A and B are shown apart, each in its own frame.
Chain A
């Protein structure tokens, strides 16, 4: 087993490009994402179109540019402005925005009364959970890059050769899993920890809690990549990226959403990422272990099922003479 793990590490220099991406570039992206998420502006940028001398109320949540002509509609689409506010002779305001109705009303009220009403948005997700959502997507996509030795060994017949030794396929997969886990865990944890400690970014969790949550997250990504590498023979990276992105969107890793599609709800509730996001939020809210024990067990079940399925598929292939 130790020989199998050591063998992967010895081969690292030849796969430097992938490792640089996984170990340096991706953590940089994660760090940058955390940094920028802390700088995301929550204020509205408004184009106020009027040719009259109207006094504009002031509020730090509203950045208002006064102009004579309305900017183009595409500037709303690109997000340059969140809304256009026009006024007529009677002093009535018309708000044009792509944002939802509550935002539209808030802007309207602000212009009419000078006060910004409390917006009862649905419960906001914590910073830590948002960060872990992004990390989960990156880990699921990168896991397969770190598992590349396994399909390589199959293509080069070294996997078959290893099977003629006393080492078994499950030992090989376990060794590959440990390698992938380390390759995902160490740089990710380091990146987040550095962003927190050195740059003082808010990450929503203590380092200890983060370390444990990342173990779960990375285990899931490792099991998934082993599974994908076992069932597929070619285009593993492409297929894994596609599945990861689609399922992560469905599970709400990018955006927290409440939809009205039952089918999508059912599917997304099956996904382990959804359970992870829910658990992460529960932990971030400071809940007790009992409150997320269900989600945790469910994620572990997925890790075990993916791991075992990868092993069974590999064994079946071996039995058929496909190595």
Chain B
């Protein structure tokens, strides 16, 4: 397999805060990589560096064999960025938007016409090509946002939360478009807050937290390795009466996290730990309003790793 992206010891700080703290990873041709992480995890900084619009402080990045610093221009020709913001011109038509951005890559006349048409068809906006985006719904604008990034047929597409705040129909359209792009040979980095999108699209998932990659694997392996168990969630009224370490000492408990009033306890799947946990809580005078249990999933794995839910 060809390596499309190779990142080694990448670092970036804003003032004294490390936004990206020495991450390394590689992406192979044709992969869809899901990039997950809570807000402030360093996803956007990483994406901006890969998109060549932000200089790293340290580390090496190679994209399609080009060095990020020395050969940024060559990289730019081969990548397509779908920014988190809807970065389109509201004043001109959808077709003029796509034509403008594709034109920046040097395409002209017939080839340009062909690429513009293909991009608009892929996102399902060809019949709206002569309309101005101000008449579009949020979902249509997001689709145009994607069309502008892919018209020049980039080998690597980086999508930064491309489906934020849109209707289910547009979301399905976008997800299908991404699958088509991959079938056509593109490699895709997909950053999102929506777990189900990552689950349905990604070959591999990278989870970032506090500027580091804390896990990187297939969905199945992530769940297997990290979250293969049951997560119990207690809504606790008076947690200060119990020591977290005491819960850890229960045989089979693999993780304990507290977020606000929610106490998350992950236990190995086939161990009967629930009885011991409840007894310990009650013995220590803890009262709880509600208890739920959830089998291992990407979401519980994420929670297990970061101690936060995805949208925190």
Q: Which of B83, B86, B104 contacts A165 (CB 8 A)?
A: B104
**How many pairs of A and B residues are in contact by the CB < 8 Å rule?**
73
**Contact between A164 and B53 (Cβ–Cβ < 8 Å)?**
yes
Answer whether residue A13 sits at the interface, using C-beta atoms and an 8 A cutoff: yes
**Contact between A164 and B76 (Cβ–Cβ < 8 Å)?**
yes
**Contact between B89 and A166 (Cβ–Cβ < 8 Å)?**
no
Q: Which of A14, A156, A160, A161 contacts B101 (CB 8 A)?
A: A161
**Contact between B89 and A165 (Cβ–Cβ < 8 Å)?**
no
**Contact between A14 and B104 (Cβ–Cβ < 8 Å)?**
no
In the bound complex, what is the Cα–Cα distance between A157 and B84 (angstroms)?
9
Interface-forming stretch among A2-10, A50-58, A67-75?
Answer: A2-10
In the bound complex, what is the Cα–Cα distance between A164 and B53 (angstroms)?
6
Answer whether residue A121 sits at the interface, using C-beta atoms and an 8 A cutoff: no
In the bound complex, what is the Cα–Cα distance between A167 and B152 (angstroms)?
14
Q: Which of B51, B87, B91, B96 contacts A14 (CB 8 A)?
A: B91
**Contact between B105 and A158 (Cβ–Cβ < 8 Å)?**
no
Q: Is the interface of B mostly helix, strand, loop or mixed?
A: loop
**Across-interface contacts of B45 in A (CB, < 8 A):** 321
Q: Is the interface of A mostly helix, strand, loop or mixed?
A: helix
**Across-interface contacts of B90 in A (CB, < 8 A):** 14, 156
> Closest chain A residue to B158 by CB distance?
A164
Answer whether residue A89 sits at the interface, using C-beta atoms and an 8 A cutoff: no
Q: Are A166 and B104 also in contact (CB < 8 A) when A11-B92, A160-B53, A321-B54 are? A: yes
Q: Are A160 and B87 also in contact (CB < 8 A) when A10-B96, A166-B76, A319-B55 are? A: yes
Shortest Cβ gap from B173 to chain A (Å): 21
**Across-interface contacts of A158 in B (CB, < 8 A):** 87-89
Answer whether residue A194 sits at the interface, using C-beta atoms and an 8 A cutoff: no
Answer whether residue A20 sits at the interface, using C-beta atoms and an 8 A cutoff: no
**Contact between A13 and B91 (Cβ–Cβ < 8 Å)?**
yes
**Across-interface contacts of A4 in B (CB, < 8 A):** 104
Answer whether residue A162 sits at the interface, using C-beta atoms and an 8 A cutoff: yes
**Across-interface contacts of A14 in B (CB, < 8 A):** 90-91
**Across-interface contacts of B51 in A (CB, < 8 A):** 164
Q: Are A3 and B103 also in contact (CB < 8 A) when A164-B53, A166-B77 are? A: yes
**Contact between B83 and A161 (Cβ–Cβ < 8 Å)?**
yes
Q: Which residues, 1 to 41 on A, are CB-close (under 8 Å) to B?
A: 3-4, 6-7, 10-11, 13-15
Per-residue contact bits, chain B 69-90, to A (CB 8 Å; 1 contact, 0 not): 0000100110101010111111
Answer whether residue A318 sits at the interface, using C-beta atoms and an 8 A cutoff: yes
**Across-interface contacts of A13 in B (CB, < 8 A):** 91
**Contact between A166 and B88 (Cβ–Cβ < 8 Å)?**
no
Q: Which residues, 34 to 51 on B, are CB-close (under 8 Å) to A?
A: 45, 48, 51
In the bound complex, what is the Cα–Cα distance between A164 and B92 (angstroms)?
20
Q: Which residues, 87 to 134 on B, are CB-close (under 8 Å) to A?
A: 87-92, 96, 100-101, 103-106
Answer whether residue B148 sits at the interface, using C-beta atoms and an 8 A cutoff: yes
Q: Report which residue of B14, B79, B83 has the largest number of chain A beta carbons within 10 angstroms of its beta carbon.
A: B83
**Across-interface contacts of A3 in B (CB, < 8 A):** 100, 103-104
**Across-interface contacts of B106 in A (CB, < 8 A):** 166
In the bound complex, what is the Cα–Cα distance between A220 and B77 (angstroms)?
34
**Across-interface contacts of A160 in B (CB, < 8 A):** 53, 83, 85, 87
**Contact between B148 and A161 (Cβ–Cβ < 8 Å)?**
yes
**Across-interface contacts of B79 in A (CB, < 8 A):** 164
**Contact between B52 and A164 (Cβ–Cβ < 8 Å)?**
yes
Per-residue contact bits, chain A 160-189, to B (CB 8 Å; 1 contact, 0 not): 111111111000000000000000000000
Answer whether residue A224 sits at the interface, using C-beta atoms and an 8 A cutoff: no
Q: Are A165 and B76 also in contact (CB < 8 A) when A13-B91, A321-B48 are? A: yes
**Across-interface contacts of B53 in A (CB, < 8 A):** 160, 163-164, 318, 321, 323
In the bound complex, what is the Cα–Cα distance between A13 and B96 (angstroms)?
14
Shortest Cβ gap from B32 to chain A (Å): 20
Sample (19) of A-B pairs whose CB atoms are under 8 Å apart: A7-B92, A11-B92, A14-B91, A156-B85, A156-B90, A157-B86, A158-B89, A161-B81, A161-B148, A162-B101, A163-B52, A164-B51, A164-B83, A166-B77, A168-B73, A318-B53, A319-B55, A321-B53, A321-B54
Identify the A interface with B (CB < 8 A): 3-4, 6-7, 10-11, 13-15, 156-158, 160-168, 318-319, 321, 323
Q: A3-B103, A158-B88, A321-B53 are in contact. List 11 more A-B contacts (CB 8 A).
A: A14-B90, A157-B86, A158-B87, A160-B85, A161-B83, A164-B51, A164-B76, A166-B77, A166-B106, A321-B45, A321-B54
Identify the B interface with A (CB < 8 A): 14, 45, 48, 51-55, 73, 76-77, 79, 81, 83, 85-92, 96, 100-101, 103-106, 148
Q: Give 9 nearest A-B pairs by CB, closest first.
A: A14-B91, A3-B103, A157-B85, A157-B87, A165-B104, A161-B87, A164-B81, A11-B91, A166-B76
